[in-house]
């Protein structure tokens, strides 16, 4: 059985200016021991989905349809009381900002103890032991001594580790990490991702990783859900998505990630460190690609496919009908070098996904043409 499944989740806020449809059919599946990344721009509904999964919706949020199934049990029908036994124990969350997730006036030990005592009764000495071992597990040195430290006495990276330790206290089946590395710098990011990976493998925990950084996705996730304007537009394995994106939004997203630089850098780093300094001229900077236009606001959602005003593959149908997220049989090259083509089943919400797939494959060699097409489309509008 699937560990966690989100099915057609729709959520809106009623405001005095009318309803705001913020989630419009979010769907994905998460299996035990796997990391699924949810990617999209800010405002696309990623964090709100995470909060729905934790039963922590802000007041005024109305769930219209959809199910959140944890081992077959629909969490959306739970009472506040029932939620208490699920939250933290079966699903736990790591927030983006470790600073505000920790209470500044309580020691790390007190805060960890609170999380343990919320779920079970234990003697103070046992609780202290459990807290120390939790800190040790996330790689904090001298955990006993750190129990009496206040959050401000720890570095940013250590605070994030404490927050992760806290989330893991009750051994949740699913860990939701909402942008866990956005507030930290690259070296710390590498450590945190390594830690999450280690814990996932050790406890065969499922991880839902909310992020907008495709580098993080490539490093840490096995599967990806691409969301745009509150809707899942593509579901794929990480490898599939990066090789052949099927939704035009995914194509643009991948293209705006700095991967060419990555390629040249990676080939060097993968090899053994080269000997001595090399000379290379400083090159003139080239323009970066970004998808033209802006993500729509939930107050003014386009009719049909929400992406059609920014999409270079738009056809007449796109501004009338909304494409469903469904399984397609597509032929994609399975090996770039031999040109071998295999048919696989993929899920994307686009009428034109075969054209998109073909263009995505072609764009690996001739991106320039697709970029021109994209820019040309936007010109008359701006």
Partner 1 sequence: MTEVLLQVRAIGKRFDVGAGRFQARARASIQALSDVDLDLASGQALGLVGESGSGKSTLARILVGLEQPSKGSVRLDGVELTTLSRAAWRPFRKRIQMVFQDCAGSLDPRQSVRSALLEPYRIHGLYSARERDMRCMELLEAVGLGAEHWNRFPHELSGGQRQRVAIARALALEPQILILDEPVSALDSSMRAQILNLLIELKRRFHLACLFVAHDLFAVQALCEHIAVMYMGRIVEVAPTGALFANPLHPYTQALLSAVPFADPQVEQQRRRIVLQGEPPSPMDLPPGCAFAARCPTKHSIDARLCEGDRPLLKGCDETGLRQAACHAVVTQGSQS
Q: Which among 214, 216, 197 is positioned nearest to 206, based on CA atoms?
A: 197
Binding mask 235-274 for partner 1 (x = CB under 8 A): ---xx--x----------xx-xxxx-xxxxxx-xxx--xx
Is 100 a binding residue for partner 1 by CB under 8 A? The answer is no
- What track of x and - describes contact with partner 1 for positions 174 through 213 (by CB under 8 A)? ----------xxxxxxxx-xx-----------------xx
Q: 366: which 2 tokens?
A: 């001739």
Residue 19 sits in the site that holds partner 1 (CB under 8 A): no
The string of DSSP codes covering 51-75 is HHHTT-PPTTEEEEEEEEEETTEEG
Task: Tell me whether residue 157 or residue 230 sits nearer to partner 1 (CB atom).
Answer: 157
Strands 206-211 and 174-178, sheet pairing: parallel
Q: Does the protein bind partner 1 through residue 41 (CB under 8 A)?
A: yes
294 binds partner 1 (CB under 8 A): yes
Nearer to partner 1, 156 or 366 (CB): 156
**Residue 36 binds partner 1, judged by CB under 8 A:** no
Please state, in angstroms and as integers, the Cα–Cα distance from residue 169 to each residue in 36, 116, 165, 290, following that order.
22, 7, 6, 41
Q: Which is nearer to partner 1, 64 or 260 (CB)?
A: 260
How far is it, in rounded angstroms, from Cα 78 to Cα 73?
9
DSSP string, 97-149: -HHHHS-TTS-HHHHHHHHHHTT----HHHHHHHHHHHHHHTT-SSHHHHTT-
Cβ contacts of residue 372 below 8 Å, gap of 6+? none
When binding is defined by CB under 8 A, the residue of 291, 311, 330, 359 that contacts partner 1 is: 291
Binding flags for partner 1, 135-164, as an x/- string (CB under 8 A): ------x-------------xxxx------
CB of 157 to partner 1, least distance (A): 7
> Would the CA dihedral through 269, 273, 277, 280 be positive or negative?
negative
**By C-alpha distance, which of 164, 207, 216 is closest to 186?**
216
In the complex, the residues that contact partner 1 under the rule CB under 8 A are 41-42, 141, 155-158, 184-191, 193-194, 212-220, 238-239, 242, 253-254, 256-259, 261-266, 268-270, 273-283, 285-291, 294
């Amino acid at each position: 059985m699937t560990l966690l499944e989100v099915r057609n989740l729709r959520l809106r806020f009623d405001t005095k200016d009318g309803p705001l449809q913020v989630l419009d059919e979010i769907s994905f599946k998460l299996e035990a021991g796997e990391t699924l990344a949810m990617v999209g721009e800010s405002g696309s509904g990623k964090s709100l989905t995470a909060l729905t999964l934790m039963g922590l919706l802000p007041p005024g949020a109305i769930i219209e349809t959809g199910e959140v199934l944890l081992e077959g049990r629909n969490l959306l029908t739970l009472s506040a009381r029932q939620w208490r036994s699920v939250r933290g124990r079966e699903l736990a969350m790591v927030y983006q900002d470790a600073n505000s997730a920790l209470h500044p006036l309580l020691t790390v030990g007190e805060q960890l103890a609170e999380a343990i005592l919320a779920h079970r009764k234990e003697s103070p000495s046992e609780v202290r032991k459990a807290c120390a071992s939790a800190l040790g597990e996330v790689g904090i040195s001298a955990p006993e001594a750190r129990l009496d430290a206040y959050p401000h006495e720890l570095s940013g990276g250590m605070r994030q580790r404490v927050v992760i330790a806290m989330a893991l206290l009750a051994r949740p089946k699913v860990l939701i990490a909402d942008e866990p590395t956005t507030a930290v710098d690259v070296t710390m990011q590498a450590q945190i991702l390594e830690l999450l990976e280690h814990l996932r493998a050790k406890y065969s925990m499922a991880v839902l990783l909310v992020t907008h950084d495709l580098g993080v996705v490539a490093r840490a996730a096995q599967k990806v859900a691409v969301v745009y304007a509150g809707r899942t537009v593509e579901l794929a394995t990480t490898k599939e998505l990066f090789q052949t994106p099927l939704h035009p939004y995914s194509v643009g997203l991948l293209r705006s990630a700095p991967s060419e630089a990555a390629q040249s850098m990676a080939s060097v780093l993968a090899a053994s460190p080269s000997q001595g300094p090399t000379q290379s001229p400083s090159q003139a900077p080239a323009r970066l690609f970004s998808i033209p236009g802006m993500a729509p606001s939930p107050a003014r959602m386009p009719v049909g496919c929400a992406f059609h005003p920014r999409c270079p593959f738009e056809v007449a149908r796109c501004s009338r009908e909304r494409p469903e997220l469904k399984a397609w049989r597509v032929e994609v090259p399975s090996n770039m070098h031999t040109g071998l083509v295999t048919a696989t089943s993929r899920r994307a919400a686009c009428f034109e996904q075969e054209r998109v797939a073909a263009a995505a494959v072609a764009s690996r060699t001739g991106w320039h043409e697709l970029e021109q097409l994209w820019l040309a489309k936007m010109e008359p509008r701006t």
